[in-house]
Structure 1
Amino acid sequence: MRMQIIAVAAVLAGSLTFGQPAEAQDAASLRVGTLAATPQPINPAKEFVGRIEARERVDVRARITGFLQDVQFEDGQMVKEGDLLYRIEPEPFQAALSRAQGALDQARGQAAYADQQYARAEELLKTQTGTVASRDQRLAEQLTAKGNVQIAEANVQTAQIDLGYTEIKSPISGLIGRTAVTKGNVVGPDRGVLTTIVSQDPMNVVIPVSQREFLKLKSDDRTAAKQELTALIRFSDGSAYDFPGKIDFVDVSVDRATDSVTIRAVVPNPNGRLIDGQLVKVTMELEKPVEKILVPQSALLADQQGFYVFVVEDGKAAIRRVTLGREVGVNASVETGLSSGDQVIVEGIAALRPGAPVSAYPATVLPKAG
């Protein structure tokens, strides 16, 4: 860690200083550069490993069995919802539709005849030239004929649906994968996935977060966690992704196997840099900054008791023990040990010893957080 290397070097330099004669050090005040400890807004963050997932993913399958007549796309191209992807040989299904329509016409003719026979039986019964049994028989024939019409209509509808399934269209817009079949092959519901389509913009990033870390990130308020957490993405090569993600889902339960909570963020993907299934590093960052004192890492020293800095007190150098938070660029956040307004020595540290008289001048402005 960079601050530790600087601290060790500073300690070695300090030990050399301590070895000098006291009268040489006290001959004159040492000129040192100082910065006033001032709280600055920073975003507390924690890094996790996440996986990119498409918001929509479809495995394309044939819904009827038939010979594949044509493939209408190139592997890996972008497709839009409704685009034709495959065409199954339609002629057998057109013939099936014609048979179903013919059967429907027959059923309708038989139903019309049954209606006439029932009406005649009713008239004969009214004139007492017919019998009740004959009328009831004609009624049963009429109801049977109507049922046959309904069955025939359903068969026509099924045949029309099957004919429509000969054209396999994209159900979503997105990037299409490699086709698993070529024309001439038999496809069907039981013959596997033809291809896969994944949506591209936006994408999801799914982050498993241990309970312990999740509680550090946010309070128990799940609604607040969704509203205030932002996900910043870095790729495996260390490069940063251009767009931040917004948390839209915190799982309702803890995974018992891993003791983790699944968090999902929505990330814009206009340029297609994010790929479904990709592993990325995700920094969860609060949108609402918190105030922390920052000091340059170059001002930090360390010994067996931990980290410390030199400050100016009554014209002399004094040690302040500090507890550090996280790194913020070239700075480190200080959790405890410094108060607002303390004059932290950031230049001329190598020649310092506790109690040495110093003459302070303003040092370079502390780089801003962020």
Structure 2
Amino acid sequence: MRRRSAPLASALLLLLLAQGPALAQFGPQGPPAVGVVTADRKPVTETSEFTGRIEAVNRVEIRARVTGFLQERAFTEGQEVKAGDVLFRLEKPPFEAALEQSRANVASAQATLENARVSLARARELRQTGAGTQVALDNAQAQERTANAQVLAAQAQVRVAEINLGYTDILSPIDGKIGRATYTPGNVVSPTLADPLAIIVSQDPMRVVFTVSARAGVELRNRYEGRGGVNAVVIRIRTTDGRVYPQRGRIEFVDTQVDRNTDSLLIRALMPNPRRDGVRGVVGDRELIDGQFVTVFVEGAEPVQAIVIPRAAVLQDQGGNYVLVVDGDKKAQRRPVTLGQTIRDEVVIERGLEGGETVIAEGLQRVRPGQEVNAAPAGGPPPGARPGGAPGGPPGGSAPGGRQG
């Protein structure tokens, strides 16, 4: 046993002697190295993001005004039409016959009126000579008035027949794009049908409709009311394929009531929707489509000066968002901040910083408030580092007193 323990003790002693210099490198070190940035003011386009939907400014359901057989469809489904274009034609002969009958009724009523006027004239002559009675004169006057009213009624029926005949040509009331036809020629159509014959939606401009929470609405109002209100913002949208639409819109309407169910406010904007370059007269020749979902950006028309720092410099705990700034004594100090919009990897600071502060952006996990730090510009080599080597060490990465590998 003694022979075995002697070599073992010698090996342990040699191991402890060899590890002595290595253990020495874990002794007390200086302040932690951190990367800092300056909280500068820079021009920023303020942007708020919402979810919205495209809506046509005008949307018309085409319906028959009279009952009749659908004789012709005069358009191609999906094409753009102009106001006044003929869309459908109904069978005309029944309505033409009704018009002729109404005109005949006018002629008959006019003949009756002429006869009543002759009778009235005769009754007046007889009354003046004493051969006629006042009762006969009164009756003749009443018959003349009745006949005159019948003429007016017959003339009104002619006008109704003319209007109904005109309704056999169903015209487009607006400029826009017409959808599919619900009924084909040969069907009987009437004003009481549940489904319209077709639907037309206007194309340019289109509306962008979106809702904002009541709180966000107040924030937007407070932000822009001193700069011109709705005239101080522009509307941009991003389509579902991720592309930002090149046209800009403007707000045209802000609802006067907050939705009690969702605590939200409806906002409506107008957005140009011209034909795409080189694409005309085909389906999809315009970018925006009625009912389309989009992402809506409410942007300030003019950039503003705001404090911007890296998003990675912002920390959060139960007390809210905060940053660590380096004071004149090279110590890290906590500053509560209120965040604004995020721009890629940067964030706007609305309150908490005045501008010019030195904010820690790198090495935050090694720092506590009140602790002294060794600051250097973020993104550069750590303080005390030598080109090609570790901080404070020789090239090759060996620690002082250690053995090179």
Same fold (TM over 0.5): yes
Map of 2:62 onto structure 1:
60
CA contact (8 A) 2:34 2:374 kept: no
Map of 2:298 onto structure 1:
284
1:269 deviation in Å?
1.2
1:303 deviation in Å?
7.6
**Letter aligned with residue 113 of structure 1:** N
Question: 2 CA distance for matches of 1:262 and 1:222?
Answer: 18
1:251 deviation in Å?
1.3
Structure 2: give runs of 5+ residues left out of the alignment: 1-24, 276-285, 381-405
CA contact (8 A) 1:222 1:250 kept: no
Map of 1:212 onto structure 2:
215
1:356 deviation in Å?
4.9
Question: 2 CA distance for matches of 1:55 and 1:303?
Answer: 45
Structure 1: give runs of 5+ residues left out of the alignment: 1-18, 364-370
Map of 1:4 onto structure 2:
none
Match of 1:238 among 242, 246, 255: 242
Residues 318-365 of structure 1 deviation map (CA, whole Å, 9 limit, x = unaligned) = 55646233212332112344333335577x8699976455677999xx
Map of 1:148 onto structure 2:
150
Map of 2:346 onto structure 1:
331
- Bigger shift: residues 170-179 or 237-246: 237-246
Residues 25-70 of structure 1 deviation map (CA, whole Å, 9 limit, x = unaligned) = 89xxx997x7653323434433222221111000100011111110
**Letter aligned with residue 140 of structure 1:** A
Question: 2 CA distance for matches of 1:86 and 1:178?
Answer: 13
Match of 2:135 among 122, 126, 133: 133
- Does the C-alpha gap of structure 1 residues 100 and 266 become closer, same or farther in structure 2, counting only changes over 3 Å? same
- Does the C-alpha gap of structure 1 residues 301 and 283 become closer, same or farther in structure 2, counting only changes over 3 Å? closer
CA contact (8 A) 2:73 2:87 kept: yes
Matched, 1:196 2:210: no
Question: 2 CA distance for matches of 1:196 and 1:267?
Answer: 21
Map of 2:273 onto structure 1:
269
**Letter aligned with residue 293 of structure 2:** L
CA contact (8 A) 1:41 1:290 kept: yes
- Does the C-alpha gap of structure 1 residues 256 and 37 become closer, same or farther in structure 2, counting only changes over 3 Å? closer
CA contact (8 A) 1:226 1:250 kept: no
SS at match of 2:347: strand
Question: 2 CA distance for matches of 1:222 and 1:321?
Answer: 29
SS at match of 1:204: strand
Please give the TM-score of this superposition, normalised by the length of structure 1. Answer: 0.79
Question: 2 CA distance for matches of 1:360 and 1:52?
Answer: 47
Question: 2 CA distance for matches of 1:123 and 1:202?
Answer: 73
Match of 2:261 among 257, 261, 265: 257
Max radius of gyration: which structure?
A: 2
1:157 deviation in Å?
0.1
Question: 2 CA distance for matches of 1:351 and 1:207?
Answer: 41
- Bigger shift: residues 187-196 or 331-340: 331-340
Question: 2 CA distance for matches of 1:90 and 1:260?
Answer: 52
CA contact (8 A) 1:51 1:205 kept: yes
Please give the TM-score of this superposition, normalised by the length of structure 2. Answer: 0.73
Q: For this pair of structures, how many residues does the alignment match?
A: 338
- Does the C-alpha gap of structure 1 residues 115 and 356 become closer, same or farther in structure 2, counting only changes over 3 Å? same
1:310 deviation in Å?
5.5
- Does the C-alpha gap of structure 1 residues 352 and 313 become closer, same or farther in structure 2, counting only changes over 3 Å? farther
Question: 2 CA distance for matches of 1:57 and 1:129?
Answer: 72
CA contact (8 A) 2:60 2:200 kept: yes
SS at match of 1:218: helix
Residues 98-154 of structure 1 deviation map (CA, whole Å, 9 limit, x = unaligned) = 110111111112112211221222122112222212211111110011011011000
Matches within 5 A, 1:342-361: 342-343=357-358, 355-356=372-373
SS at match of 2:215: helix
Match of 1:296 among 280, 293, 310: 310
1:230 deviation in Å?
3.2
Question: 1 CA distance for matches of 2:256 and 2:81?
Answer: 35
1:262 deviation in Å?
1.4
CA contact (8 A) 1:294 1:332 kept: yes
- Bigger shift: residues 268-277 or 349-358: 349-358
Map of 1:171 onto structure 2:
173
Query: Identity percentage over the alignment?
Result: 40
1:203 deviation in Å?
1.1
CA contact (8 A) 2:224 2:232 kept: no
**Letter aligned with residue 331 of structure 1:** E
- Does the C-alpha gap of structure 1 residues 219 and 325 become closer, same or farther in structure 2, counting only changes over 3 Å? closer
Question: 2 CA distance for matches of 1:166 and 1:303?
Answer: 70
Map of 2:397 onto structure 1:
none
1:164 deviation in Å?
0.1
Question: 1 CA distance for matches of 2:274 and 2:173?
Answer: 21
**Letter aligned with residue 297 of structure 2:** T
- Does the C-alpha gap of structure 1 residues 244 and 113 become closer, same or farther in structure 2, counting only changes over 3 Å? same
CA contact (8 A) 2:323 2:360 kept: no
